Amino acid sequence: MPASRTEVAVTQESLTPDTAAAVLALAVLGEDADGIAPLSEQVLLRVRHASTRPTHLVARLRGAGAGTADGAGALVGYLVLQPGGGERAAELVAELVVHPAHRRHGIGRALLGAALDVVSANERRGTTLKIWAHGDRPEAAALAEHLGFVRDRILLQMRRPTSTPLPDVSVPDGVRIRTFRPGADDDAWVVLNARAFADHPEQAYVTVEDLRERQQESWFDPAGFFLAERVEDDRLVGFHWTKVHERPAPAGEVYVVGLHPDAQGTGLGLALTVTGLAHLAALGLPIVLLYADETNAGAVRMYERLGFRTHHTDVEYARRVVDRAG
């Protein structure tokens, strides 16, 4: 860690290939240092595709340091601002990462201060700025409190070993489970997903473009993407999309499970969940993880009955920002 305070310049930038590569490398350093990814999958996709939809703020070293010939200009911090969807249209959601060797030197505070400036300068009405703290680290909590943010939402990461036995379950009568067919099922799945997550702040707004971006990722495997359809008319009524992680250690994920409202309470959700868990166990993965909102008590209880236990929590902090003109 540097002996003196790290001096940085925070600017809003477009993501050139070099800047995008530097942000992705910074995210890897953060994950290696903390054991938890500092940026969500959605953000990493936006960076890889150099999307102009979010606002990208970067912190670069001033003067001598490490990273380039004289250190100046090396990227040591990154913050992304993304608009909320639907009812969250008056919100901006942020995530950030700071180089592990340059922490506790005010970089996170500088990035968040710049984000607050962006919001107050460009929003004509009061808006809410939210920021995710992955892993609920105490330094993140202290910074959020110092800047006037309050805890607003808690996301549980739960895990179970694949060696834990799975219950015997049956698929409801009149329903069959098959795997996803890229290209053929895209539109129908997006419609089902929107119905299944009509009240969810992020998942409800997944588009066909978002789905196809994920189909280009190295982890995408249609053999682990299970769809439930009615036998009588082939109508999709549920799904379980699984994912495999290679780092920081091999693991499976209950990526997302969704049901059409008409299929709620039929036992289909449990059947789909167990189908995906059995698939991940057959791949030889030692553990399976998932994310669940703390407030979704029914889902949390079901996952606990299947042997999942909370591993860590992610916290979303919120602060209402009033524009300078108002």
Q: What is the pLDDT of residues 218-242, one digit of tens each?
A: 999 999 999 999 999 999 999 999 9
Other residues' Cβ atoms within 10 Å of the Cβ of residue 299: 17
Q: Write down the mean pLDDT value for the chain.
A: 88
CA dist., res. 23 & res. 15, Å (int): 9
* Strand blocks (E) in 72-120: 75-83, 91-98
Torsion over CA: 93, 48, 183, 252 (sign): negative
Q: What is the pLDDT of residue 49?
A: 83
Q: How far apart are CA 98 and CA 77, in angstroms?
A: 4
Q: How confident is the model at residue 249 (pLDDT cuts 50, 70, 90)?
A: confident
Helix ranges (H only) for 150-229 are: 186-196, 208-215
* Angle between helix 138-146 and helix 107-122 axes, rounded to 10 deg: 40
Residue 107: both structure tokens together: 């970089």
User: How confident is the model over 17-43, as a mean pLDDT?
Assistant: 92
pLDDT score for 320: 82
Please name the residue that has the structure tokens 């200009």.
Answer: 73
Average pLDDT over every residue of 29-37: 91
Which stretch of DSSP H or E encloses residue 131? strand 127-134
Q: pTM of the entire structure? A: 0.84
- The pair of structure tokens assigned to 9 is 């310049």
CATH code 3.40.630.30 region(s) in the chain: 8-154+315-321, 163-285
Alpha carbon 16 to its chain centroid, in Å, reads 23
- H-state helical runs in the chain: 17-34, 41-48, 107-122, 138-146, 186-196, 208-215, 268-282, 297-305
Say yes or no to pLDDT of 69 above 60: no
| Residue 68: pLDDT over 50 | no
Q: Is the pLDDT of residue 58 over 80?
A: yes
Signed CA dihedral, 294, 295, 297, 298: sign only? negative
State mean pLDDT over 20-25. Answer: 95
Q: What would the CATH number be for the domain defined by 163-285?
A: 3.40.630.30
- Fold exhibited by the domain 8-154+315-321: Aminopeptidase (3.40.630)
Q: Which of 184-188, 254-258, 293-297 has the lowest mean pLDDT?
A: 293-297
% of the chain with per-residue pLDDT over 90? 66
Query: Which tens digits make up the pLDDT trace of 260-302?
Result: 999 999 999 999 999 999 999 999 999 999 999 999 898 899 9
Residue 72 CB: number of other CB atoms within 10 A? 15
Q: Once rounded to an integer, what is the mean pLDDT over residues 52-69?
A: 73
